[in-house]
Amino acid sequence: MVRMVARKIRRAAIATIGAVGVGLALVALFLLSWTPQNSDDYESLHITILLVNIAGVIVLFILMVGNLAKLLRDYRSHVPGSKLKARVVGMFVGLAVLPLLVVFYFSIQFINSGIDSWFNIDVEEGLDEALALSQAALGIQMRDHLTTTAQIADRLQDVSARQLIFELSMLRRESGASEISIFGRNSRIIATSSDQSAGSLPKPLTDEVLLQISQGRPFVILDPVESGNYEIRAAVPFGNLNRPEFAGVIQALYPVPERISMMANSVEASNSDYKRAAYIREPLKRNFSLTLTVVLMLSLLSSIYGAFILSRRLVAPIQDLVAGTRAVAKGDFDTRLPTPSRDEIGFLINSFNDMTQRLSSAHREASLSQALVEAERANLAVILDRLSTGVVALESDFRIRNANAASGAILNVDLESRIGEYLPDVAKGQPLLDQFVDVARVHLNAGETEWREQIVLRGEVGRRVLTCACTTLPGDEDHAAGYVVVFDDITALLQAQRDAAWGEVARRLAHEIKNPLTPIQLSAERMRRKYLHTLPAEEAQVLDRATHTIVQQVEAMKEMVNAFSDYARAPDIDVNKFDIGKLVHEVVDLYRAQESDIRIILKTDSNLPEIEADAGRVRQIMHNLLRNAVEALEHTENGRIEVDVTSAEVHDVEVVDIVVADNGPGFHSKSLSQIFEPYVTSKPKGTGLGLAIVKKLVEEHAGTIDAINPADGGALIRIQLPVNETARGQMIARLPGRAEIRRERA
Amino acid sequence: MLAMAAGILTAGSLAAQQLPERQGFFDIRSASTVLNNGVHELEARLQLILSDEALDALNSGVPLTIELEFEVIRVRGFWLDASDADLTFQYELEYRPLSQRYLVRNLNSGDQDTFSTLYSALNNLGRIQGLPVIDDAVLGADNRYRLRLRARLSTRQYPSALRLLFFWRGQWQLESEWYEWSLER
């Protein structure tokens, strides 16, 4: 606001100074044209004005040269707007200079021919002849008066001194002279007669009269007098025969008649005026030309300088516009240009400002939405990263567009690091991913883009069950339509469901079957006791066999129900700190004592830590594992069981690693993945609950259990139990597999 | 265009330089005052040579004005001298074509004389005799005075076109040096 006001004030000041300057120049020009006609007091003023104007011309010239040099410099260095400025200046100069020069040329011509036309050869000749005529006419009179004077001199020659004055006066009156004087030697007045009043001195002899008389020549001239009239002065030598001392000069003055004097004056004045005018003709012309030239130069240079100013004002907003456009092109959308006026240029600049404002806000919005998108993407990435569900986005040609960490963990391949690669290529040598790709490809090749399926992948360590859903991704400019496959590893879930179901079965069995077993057994025993000895021997034998079978089978059934009961029951864990090495020793020693034909080799670390766990359950785990091994070695010669207890760190978690291996027939490879499920057994005997219970107990301690058939034969079960509560917490927090991948990435 | 303008601007001086002319000069040969009946009268001899241009103008009917400037300067011991009186005597020299005579008119008194030749007219002008200049009574008895005199061609009365011409041309700048002498009483 303040700047605008300041600019307005400055503009007004410049306009005022300009107007005053132009006014002064006009006044100076007017005075310049006026002074030659008014001759009295303006000489110095005229000179001053002329000099001021010339100074003005010089100043304007310097300004013009400066502007021209700047324009040339700008033009050569391609300053924006300089070409337009040059064109505008050129146009203005062309418009101003040509008419001015034409006017100047014709004015000079008019002045010269106009002034020349005042002078005419005929007039000059006429005036000269009139002058000559007047001279001739007066010359006759002069000769007449000279003659008269000579006659007077003759007549006075004999006159006595006494008579001289009288005679002189008489002769003067006769001759019509206004004064006659007789001068003696040394120009002394001897006698004089005048028509003037007495007392006035006669006109003295001049040097030239004396000179001429001394040469013996008479003297006659036409003499202009103070009154403006003429008189004829004639002088002749005078010698008085009677009075030699009177020898001298007679000078007579004859007035020229007033009318003739006037006419003569008029002729003379006309002649003089004409000559004077002719004399000042050239200076006058030169003056006019000079004045005109100064006027021309002032006008010309003013108009050229004006053209520069005008072009600058005209081009300035355009230059602003160019600069603004460049700034916008460079990405500076906050450029605002000052509005110069309310004309079309002003409108243009307002439009430009509008445009930049809109661009600016659009840019801001775009940045904002980009930031939002980035934030969303980051959020999504975090969510995807934390998701336990695997998400893989594929291009239509099976290249990986995106994949989260869980997908890698589930499929056992770090997919995140292979984004952009062709999925079937990535799947080479990766059995899980390969199967996954095969399933997906079958669907997609069949043209099914939306499908949902539960798939089972078989790997080296077991099978994995995935629920898998696929849908198409909308395509955009950068990406063709692709697919997103979402899958969950539900192996553990299914296992848990199965475990829960078995637990329920076991509980019901225990409840529903165990209760009638005792009465059955008791009844069978009672029956046997009561009737065995009463029956004949053959029948007693049948009864004995039957009751024996009943009791035996009930026992077996009880045993089975107890096992189920063990499996199903979930009493609280009684955690204590104990020496696991010692515990394993005790159990192994028990079996060593029972099974003498099986060699049991026990290896324990000397620095095994004390473990925080339920000692009873750990004992049961060892019992079950050893029994399982012993049972497996029933038909094996040189049976051998190796028990290996070590402390280890798995994924930063401190664990006790227990391995029980035998050299028996090993697990059925078909049931290897389900070996820990109830009623999955490779043995003819047994409830099929031993390993299921072991697994349950291990999981109650947040431990892990694996069963494999080692390459050199036999079976191997590995258990890892966390050593304390902290380690247990850490184990719970991790899922096997995923943790491994994370560690690698970190 | 500019060259043309510059040419026109300098046309006057160029024209002047083209004529090989007599420049003319004014000079005061001698000057003195004589006290006569309580009035100091000027006696002076001047050499007045007109330039060709002035002669041209004279013969074209332009009257020339010759000025005698006379100054009485009081000499002061410890201060700048003071100009006590400043007199100008103007004489007009004119050629009358009808009578073919040169007319010399004292513009102060109105007296006039005619001469058949310019030489005699200028000679007459250059011989100042008994021209009363200052009354002795107005001069301080105890003061010392310096007097000075110069002659110059005045162009003040001429048409401005001529005067502009005179401004550009050196031939019209006819002016003698100051001739200075002490007042003797």
* CB-based contact A279 B60, cutoff 8 Å: yes
Number of residues written out for chain B: 185
Residue with the larger pLDDT of the pair A274 and A200: A274
As a whole number of Å, the CA-based R_g of chain B is 19
Residue-by-residue DSSP string for B116-163: SSHHHHHHHHTEEEEEEEEEGGGS-TT-EEEEEEEEEEE-TTS-HHHH
Structural domain boundaries of chain A?
20-118+276-329, 139-256, 387-489, 496-567, 573-745
Is the four-CA dihedral A146, A147, A152, A157 of positive or negative sign?
positive
pLDDT at B88: 92
Q: Which chain B residues are Cβ-neighbours of A37 within 8 angstroms?
A: 160
Confidence tier at A637 by pLDDT (50, 70, 90):
confident
Q: Is pLDDT of A525 > 90?
A: no
Question: In whole numbers, what is the pLDDT of chain B averaged over residues?
Answer: 82
A491-531 helix and A537-568 helix, angle to the nearest 10 degrees: 150
Q: Which residue among B57, B98, B165 places its CB closest to the CB of A134?
A: B98
* CB-based contact A287 B163, cutoff 8 Å: no
Q: Which chain B residues are Cβ-neighbours of A223 within 8 angstroms?
A: 99, 101, 114
| Lookup: tokens for B73 | 């300067």
* CB-based contact B163 A43, cutoff 8 Å: yes
Fold of A387-489: Beta-Lactamase (3.30.450)
C-alpha–C-alpha distance, residues A43 and A484, integer Å:
105
Phi, psi of B92 (to 5 degrees): -115, 130
* CB-based contact B98 A280, cutoff 8 Å: no
Is B56 in the A-facing interface, judged by CB distances under 8 Å?
A: yes
Across residues A238-246, what is the average pLDDT? 67
Nearest CA in chain A to B6: A293
- A708 forms beta bridges with A716
Q: Which of A372-381, A548-557, B154-163 has the lowest mean pLDDT?
A: B154-163
pLDDT at A570: 60
Residue with the larger pLDDT of the pair A5 and A645: A645
Q: Is pLDDT of A39 > 80?
A: no
Q: 């399933």: which residue's tokens?
A: A439
Please tell me what DSSP assigns to residue B177.
P
- A400 forms beta bridges with A394
Q: Which amino acid is at A179?
A: E
Q: What is the b/e burial string over A162-171, where b = at least 16 CB atoms within 10 angstroms of the residue's CB?
A: eebeebbbeb
Confidence tier at A145 by pLDDT (50, 70, 90):
very high
On the 0-12 / 13-18 / 19+ scale of CB atoms within 10 A, B182 is exposed
Across residues A536-545, what is the average pLDDT? 86
Question: In whole numbers, what is the pLDDT of chain A averaged over residues?
Answer: 82
Whether the CB-CB separation of A491 and A410 falls below 8 Å is answered with no
C-alpha–C-alpha distance, residues A409 and A388, integer Å:
9
pLDDT at B12: 42
Residue B177 maps to a domain: yes
Q: Do domains A139-256 and A387-489 have the same CATH topology?
A: yes
Residue B169 maps to a domain: yes
Contacts of A450 (CB under 8 A, 6+ apart): A470, A471, A472
Confidence tier at B89 by pLDDT (50, 70, 90):
very high
H helix runs in A35-120, sequence order: 43-76, 82-118
Confidence tier at A433 by pLDDT (50, 70, 90):
confident
Q: Is pLDDT of A369 > 90?
A: yes
Q: Is pLDDT of B45 > 90?
A: yes
Q: Is pLDDT of A382 > 80?
A: yes
* CB-based contact B114 A101, cutoff 8 Å: no
Whether the CB-CB separation of A679 and A689 falls below 8 Å is answered with yes
ipTM over 0.90: no
Q: Which residue among B2, B97, B164 places its CB closest to the CB of A46?
A: B164
Whether the CB-CB separation of B53 and A283 falls below 8 Å is answered with no
C-alpha–C-alpha distance, residues B175 and B170, integer Å:
11
Contacts of A600 (CB under 8 A, 6+ apart): A588, A591, A592, A626, A640, A641, A643
- Residue ranges with strand state E in A530-583: 576-579
Residue with the larger pLDDT of the pair A502 and B70: B70
Helices and strands (H and E) in chain A: how many = 18, 17
Q: State the CB neighbour count (10 A cutoff) for residue A671.
A: 13
C-alpha–C-alpha distance, residues B71 and B76, integer Å:
15
Confidence tier at B84 by pLDDT (50, 70, 90):
confident
Fold of A139-256: Beta-Lactamase (3.30.450)
Query: Which residue range(s) make up the domain with B128?
Result: 24-182
- A135 forms beta bridges with none
Question: Looking at CA atoms only, how far is residue A305 from chain B in angstroms?
Answer: 15
pLDDT at A83: 85
**∠ Cα A48 A50 A54 (to 5°):** 115
Q: Give A663's Cβ-side CA count (13 Å radius).
A: 12
Residue with the larger pLDDT of the pair A23 and B114: B114
Using a pLDDT cut of 90, give the percent of chain A over it: 8
Across residues A131-145, what is the average pLDDT? 91
* CB-based contact B100 A293, cutoff 8 Å: no
pLDDT at B168: 62
> What are A647-700's pLDDT values in tens digits?
888 878 888 999 999 988 888 877 777 778 777 666 666 667 788 888 888 888
CATH superfamily of A573-745: Histidine kinase-like ATPase, C-terminal domain (3.30.565.10)
Q: Which of A29-43, A470-484, B157-171 has the lowest mean pLDDT?
A: A29-43
Confidence tier at B104 by pLDDT (50, 70, 90):
very high
pLDDT at A241: 60
* CB-based contact A224 B2, cutoff 8 Å: no
Which residue, B158, B115, B120, B126, is CA-closest to B27? B126
Please tell me what DSSP assigns to residue A37.
G
Is B109 in the A-facing interface, judged by CB distances under 8 Å?
A: no
Nearest CA in chain B to A287: B161
pLDDT at A220: 92
Q: Is pLDDT of A246 > 80?
A: no
> What are A500-521's pLDDT values in tens digits?
887 787 777 777 777 788 888 8
Residue with the larger pLDDT of the pair B20 and A630: A630
pLDDT at A196: 77
pLDDT at B170: 62
* CB-based contact A264 B61, cutoff 8 Å: no
> What are A162-202's pLDDT values in tens digits?
888 888 888 888 888 889 988 887 788 888 888 876 667 88
B159-178 residues touching A, CB cutoff 8 A: 159-165, 167
pLDDT at A491: 82
Q: Is pLDDT of A378 > 60?
A: yes
pLDDT at A32: 62
| Distance separating the N- and C-terminal Cα atoms of chain B | 66
Q: Which residue among B62, B110, B167 places its CB closest to the CB of A276?
A: B62
Give the count of Cβ contacts less than 8 A between chain A and B. Answer: 115
Total domains in the fold of chain B: 1
Q: Is pLDDT of B70 > 90?
A: yes
Q: Which of A207-216, A217-226, A727-736 has the lowest mean pLDDT?
A: A727-736
Nearest CA in chain B to A39: B160
Residue B43 maps to a domain: yes
Whether the CB-CB separation of A471 and A450 falls below 8 Å is answered with yes
Q: Which chain A residues are Cβ-neighbours of B161 within 8 angstroms?
A: 36, 39, 280, 283-284, 287
pLDDT at B13: 44
Across residues A317-333, what is the average pLDDT? 84
Which residue, B94, B117, B96, is CA-closest to B104? B94
